[in-house]
Amino acid sequence: MLARPVGLLWPILGIVLLLPFEESIHGRETTEQPPWEYKSVRIENDEKGSTRQLNDLALNGWEYVGPLAHGMVAFKRPLSLSPKQIRRIEWADNHLFHTAFSPNGQLYLAGGDTGTLRIWEVNTGRQVLELPIGFGLITPDGKQVVGYNNEKTILVYDLTGKILRTLDVDEAITGMAIGPDGKQIVCGHADKAIRLWDLATGKVVRKFEGHTEPASVAFSPSGQHILSASADKTIRLWDVETGKQVRSFDDFKDVTALEGNGLIVRGMFAGEGRVAGYVWGKEKTFVLWDAATGMKIRQLDLGPDHHKDVAVSGDGRWLLTGHEDRTVRLLDVRTGKEWHRFVMTDINVPRGLSFSPDGKYAAAGSRRSWLYLWQLRK
């Protein structure tokens, strides 16, 4: 039998020490090698069961970190990064500004200026579908694609390409996200409002107002909140049930647009209880906040050559940034440390960055017809 880790008291005796580190499951502030991945575990309440759990964790490389709140215990193990290019696909005469993965991570997709969306298998690279929409997302059950083509029509397809539903909207769509239950979508619109749609009925369930410029949108993993971001320099958190604004993140209020370019402000959820946002203008900055308090946790300067797009992994650990030197960079959100730099082999600039849900893969489109797929870890 493996010895119990020093400092761990069995839950039946009660946890008497709570480690005071905000990193908790997100990991400690560190530049140590190698990078760590963290997980929280609820230990079983009997000694036999908890011993079995600890043995299993140890055999899989997990090391004890310490007790957390609410009966959870934190463990860590070295994260095995193995970045490499998996695939490079040419799609002639297309500015590929959108990529995404299916919820199970087995498919990835891209869309662009041609108003067409293509879907491929991650493992084989086989194209499985082409749809006449420039933007689309695969539903959480993996059975449908929801997207839009002319900005005023929402279309729902099955994975054979059959149209299941069409929703006509009055105001052009500026952003879209699917709720975690797959029953609702949220859209930003040209009239600056945000609308929550019921996919089954095609009706607007709720309208969120407050932005003074059109917004992009994101759903929280729980489905309880919506995050919107706008060139009005605000990122706003909304309660889905009440339609009320919970909080506004105003750290970008003093930023300025580049001459001849519009200001880009985007928001995203970044792991449990956190939201993130970035601005692309004269300032190129990424900020991470605590969603409950609005407190700024971290700010990263993306550098003068940053170009328009970033993506955050589902656990909030990793950041992808695109740059004008044809690179996509993988950063640790907690430290800002760059762990890898992918180079596009053609004369190009990356667009439309995304992570697979499990964080094992990343995808990027580009301004000049190429789609990239990279492996981050095994």
- The string of pLDDT tens digits covering residues 210-233 is 999 999 999 999 999 999 999 999
Highest mean pLDDT among 26-40, 46-60, 334-348, 363-377: 363-377
d(CA 82, CA 360): 9
Please state which of the ranges 77-81, 142-146, 158-162, 171-175 shows the lowest mean pLDDT.
77-81
Task: Using the predicted structure, report yes or no on whether residue 37 has a pLDDT greater than 70.
Answer: yes
The HSE-up count of residue 302 (CA atoms within 13 Å, CB side) is: 28
Residue 34 pLDDT level (bands cut at 50, 70, 90): low
For the chain, what are the domain ranges?
Answer: 1-79, 81-377
pLDDT of res. 33: 54
- The string of pLDDT tens digits covering residues 38-79 is 778 887 777 777 788 888 888 887 888 888 877 788 888 777
The yes or no reply on domain 81-377 and CATH 3.80.10.10 is no
Cross-strand pairs, 73: 41, 67
- The string of pLDDT tens digits covering residues 352-361 is 999 999 999 9
- The mean per-residue pLDDT over the stretch 326-331 comes to 94
pTM, rounded to two decimals: 0.82
Looking up tokens 């993130």, which residue turns up? Answer: 276
